[in-house]
């Protein structure tokens, strides 16, 4: 009997979902949802869009959750972030102390306004459940589903909101045909914790929907901190070379920005913007990238199949696959040698957690990448970018700034210029901001709390063992900052220039203390230091420098 009820419920939900227009009226003049061959529905623009202007603004997402590790540093309501969790200077983060919720001890708030708003809108229902879970909170995707169930049970979602959620792609038939899975157990868990009358099947369908449609809850420059579900984003298909990015403007890092009188009405209503990564013609489909764009074609395809149930055959996947096949036919032993080297570095990386001494070994193994320098295809189609980024992050956690710097520079000079042909790409911007923060931590320009002068002196001494002088580092910081400015100007992410300006002011301070060496001489010496640190030949370095645009 329960089964029949649940089947009827689900049929009714789907009929209602089919009736609701897929997009909010505010997009009617500019965007439309269409059937796209072999992709289901997708979003097309009705008018041409310049790379300089945002495509549209999205409001604050209710259906969202913050990753557990980011809860201590994020306001649970307005989502301002107080630190990147890495020992870095933290420009652009809100400098406030968050207050912990006395009930669940998991949520934290920037002030009373956010706490009260959150309480009435959703937190009073979650708080007692989180308390029972005693810090063992489920992953963000499941907490976003839990919130949806709690709000639906209390009639706090409008019919339109609920029907739009139900109209999203779920792949329910394919996934349920695979039989009972751990997602069914999770749906049962959510039902029990929420004390919900909603059927397990319906909750499981919400989990499928959340997995296939939620995107990262972004920060302006430092990557994702959780998940969010937005009805427009949920209708946008994937491409490994996207024409848009989800951009969180810097004004949303002002405490309580949704109420702030210092911001305009428009700003108070804008949590994120969809921004174009190039000019887009009228009638073109909008395309977002669901995966980290620098990972290998193999890893991208596997993730898209596993999580979104489609085989990506975009232009980028085809050209990457062909480039690898061409290289393998020209140099039959090369892919195997590269794979062995990759496994060696990965083995050391996987041991860093229990044994930090493995960081040095992993870095030494990574330094042997010079044998592959003449085959950039390997860098962009293999696991090189992921390994380099893993070493940057592990290096930072261990406060080994020199090692972090060299690996971040590898991504900046060797990988990203091959990967991103557009001026601005959020993944590239993230690398550059991270790189500049590492320069600052090394140079002592702006340091994480608790850094003494002795530590700075010690870091610069260590950097010199890697081939960098203080004046060389200062010169490169200057040049990379200018590169970042050029990339952001003339894009719809111009608001991030305020973060560049902060760093430029620091450059002026550094330059006033600079040693008495002429600009051109200093530049040449710094270039030579970088060439040696990256282990590049003269010839290769010239090409790399030109391609980097720095
Ligand atoms: C976020 S939804 C996008 C909108 C969806 N096409 C719809 O009809 O509602 C994600 C789902 O769209 C489909 N999809 C997205 N990009 C695709 C692509 N490049 N090729 C084939 N299917 C794609 C997949 O089924 C994926 O799980």
CATH at residue 197: 3.90.1410
Which parts of the chain register pLDDT below 50? none
Residue 480 exposure: Cα atoms within 13 Å on the Cβ side:
28
Please say which residue of 256, 288, 320 terminates a domain.
Answer: 288
Please say which residue of 221, 255, 288 terminates a domain.
Answer: 288
Whether residue 200 has its Cβ less than 6 Å from ligand 1: no
Whether residue 34 has its Cβ less than 6 Å from ligand 1: no
What are 43's strand-pairing partners?
A: 33
Q: Is residue 228 located within the same domain as residue 363?
A: no
**Residue 306 lies inside a defined structural domain of this protein:** no
Per DSSP, the three-state class of 443 is helix
Best of 37, 39, 303 for a ligand 1 pocket test (most atoms within 8 Å of beta carbon): 39
Cα distance between residue 26 and residue 44, in whole Å? 15
Q: Is residue 281 located within the same domain as residue 323?
A: no
Whether residue 60 has its Cβ less than 6 Å from ligand 1: no
Q: Is residue 262 located within the same domain as residue 334?
A: no
**Residue 305 lies inside a defined structural domain of this protein:** no
For ligand 1, the distance from its centroid to the CA atom of residue 172, given in whole angstroms, is 14
Cα dist. 219→79, 216, 464 in Å? 9, 9, 34
394 burial (CB, 10 Å; 0-12 / 13-18 / 19+) is: buried
Q: Are 206 and 145 in contact (CB under 8 A)?
A: yes
Domain count along the chain:
2
**Residue 73 lies inside a defined structural domain of this protein:** yes
Closest ligand 1 atom, residue 239 Cα: 19
Question: Any idea which residue has 């909603």 for tokens?
Answer: 198
Q: Give the DSSP letter of residue 197.
A: -
Please say which residue of 288, 322, 344 terminates a domain.
Answer: 288
For ligand 1, the distance from its centroid to the CA atom of residue 291, given in whole angstroms, is 13
Q: Is residue 125 located within the same domain as residue 68?
A: yes
Whether residue 288 has its Cβ less than 6 Å from ligand 1: no
Whether residue 170 has its Cβ less than 6 Å from ligand 1: no
Best of 37, 236, 238 for a ligand 1 pocket test (most atoms within 8 Å of beta carbon): 238
Per DSSP, the three-state class of 15 is helix
DSSP letters spanning 340-362: HHHHHHHHHHHHHTT-TTHHHHH
Whether residue 315 has its Cβ less than 6 Å from ligand 1: no
Task: Tell me the residue range of the domain where 443 lies.
Answer: 312-548
For ligand 1, the distance from its centroid to the CA atom of residue 40, given in whole angstroms, is 6
Best of 172, 300, 310 for a ligand 1 pocket test (most atoms within 8 Å of beta carbon): 310
pLDDT value of residue 512: 60
pLDDT value of residue 509: 66
Q: Give the DSSP letter of residue 97.
A: P
Q: Is residue 375 located within the same domain as residue 234?
A: no
Cα distance between residue 362 and residue 357, in whole Å? 9
Whether residue 169 has its Cβ less than 6 Å from ligand 1: yes
Q: Is residue 64 located within the same domain as residue 210?
A: yes
**Residue 344 lies inside a defined structural domain of this protein:** yes
For ligand 1, the distance from its centroid to the CA atom of residue 481, given in whole angstroms, is 37
**Residue 36 lies inside a defined structural domain of this protein:** yes
**Residue 264 lies inside a defined structural domain of this protein:** yes
pLDDT value of residue 70: 96
For ligand 1, the distance from its centroid to the CA atom of residue 143, given in whole angstroms, is 23
Q: Is residue 265 located within the same domain as residue 385?
A: no
Best of 18, 37, 40, 300 for a ligand 1 pocket test (most atoms within 8 Å of beta carbon): 40
Q: Give the DSSP letter of residue 29.
A: T
**Residue 303 lies inside a defined structural domain of this protein:** no
Q: Is residue 320 located within the same domain as residue 459?
A: yes
**Residue 507 lies inside a defined structural domain of this protein:** yes
Closest ligand 1 atom, residue 235 Cα: 4
pLDDT value of residue 4: 74
For ligand 1, the distance from its centroid to the CA atom of residue 42, given in whole angstroms, is 8
For ligand 1, the distance from its centroid to the CA atom of residue 165, given in whole angstroms, is 15
Q: Is residue 282 located within the same domain as residue 333?
A: no
Q: Is residue 212 located within the same domain as residue 333?
A: no
Closest ligand 1 atom, residue 36 Cα: 6
Other CB atoms within 10 Å distance of the CB of residue 413: 18
For ligand 1, the distance from its centroid to the CA atom of residue 218, given in whole angstroms, is 21
Cα distance between residue 170 and residue 167, in whole Å? 9
Q: Is residue 251 located within the same domain as residue 330?
A: no
pLDDT value of residue 19: 78
pLDDT value of residue 69: 95
Q: Is residue 266 located within the same domain as residue 320?
A: no
């Amino acid at each position: 009997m329960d089964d029949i009820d649940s089947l009827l419920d689900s049929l009714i939900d789907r009929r209602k979902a089919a009736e609701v227009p897929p997009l909010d009226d505010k997009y009617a003049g500019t965007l439309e949802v269409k059937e796209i061959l072999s992709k289901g529905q997708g979003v097309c623009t009705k008018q041409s869009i310049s790379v300089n202007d945002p495509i549209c603004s999205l409001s604050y997402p209710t259906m969202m959750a913050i990753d557990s590790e980011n809860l201590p540093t994020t306001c649970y309501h307005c989502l301002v972030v107080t630190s990147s969790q890495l020992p870095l200077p933290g420009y652009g983060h809100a400098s406030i102390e968050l207050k912990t919720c006395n009930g669940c001890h998991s949520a934290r708030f920037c002030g009373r306004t956010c706490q009260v708003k959150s309480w009435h809108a959703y937190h009073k229902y979650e708080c007692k459940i989180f308390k029972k879970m005693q810090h063992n909170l489920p992953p963000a995707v499941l907490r976003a589903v839990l919130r949806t169930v709690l709000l639906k049970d209390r009639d706090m979602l409008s019919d339109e909101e609920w029907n739009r959620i139900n109209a999203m792609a779920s792949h329910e038939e394919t996934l349920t045909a695979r039989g009972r899975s751990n997602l069914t157990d999770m749906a049962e868990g959510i039902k029990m914790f929420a004390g919900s009358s909603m059927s397990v099947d319906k909750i499981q369908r919400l989990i499928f929907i959340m997995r296939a449609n939620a995107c990262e809850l972004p920060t302006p420059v430092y990557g994702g901190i959780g998940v969010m579900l937005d009805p427009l984003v949920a209708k946008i298909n994937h491409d490994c070379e996207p024409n848009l990015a989800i951009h969180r403007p810097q004004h949303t890092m002002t405490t309580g920005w949704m109420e702030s009188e210092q911001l305009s009405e428009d700003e108070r209503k804008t949590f994120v913007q969809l921004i174009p990564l190039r000019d887009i013609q009228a009638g073109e489909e909008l395309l977002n990238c669901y995966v980290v764009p620098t990972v290998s074609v193999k890893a991208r395809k596997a993730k898209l199949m596993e999580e979104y149930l489609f085989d990506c055959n975009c232009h980028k996947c085809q050209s990457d696959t062909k480039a690898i096949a061409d290289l393998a036919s020209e140099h039959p032993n090369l892919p195997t040698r590269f794979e062995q080297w990759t496994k060696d570095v990965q083995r050391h990386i996987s041991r860093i957690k229990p044994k930090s001494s493995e960081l040095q070994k992993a870095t030494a193994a990574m330094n042997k990448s010079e044998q592959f320098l003449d085959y950039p295809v390997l860098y962009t189609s293999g696991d090189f970018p992921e390994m380099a980024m893993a070493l940057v992050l592990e290096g930072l956690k261990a406060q080994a700034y020199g090692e972090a710097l060299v690996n971040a520079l590898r991504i900046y000079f060797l990988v990203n210029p091959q990967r991103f042909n557009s001026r601005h790409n959020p993944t590239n911007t993230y690398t550059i901001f991270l790189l500049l923060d590492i320069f600052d931590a090394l140079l002592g320009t702006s340091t994480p709390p608790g850094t003494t002068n002795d530590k700075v002196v010690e870091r610069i001494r260590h950097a010199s063992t890697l081939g960098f002088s203080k004046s060389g580092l200062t010169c490169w910081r200057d040049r990379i900052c200018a590169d970042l400015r050029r990339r952001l100007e003339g894009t719809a992410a111009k608001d991030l220039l305020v973060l560049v300006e902060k760093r430029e002011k620091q450059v002026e301070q550094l330059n006033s203390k600079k040693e008495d060496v002429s600009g051109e001489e200093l530049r040449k010496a710094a270039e030579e230091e970088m060439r040696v640190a990256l282990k590049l030949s003269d010839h290769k370095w010239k090409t790399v420098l030109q391609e980097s645009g720095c």
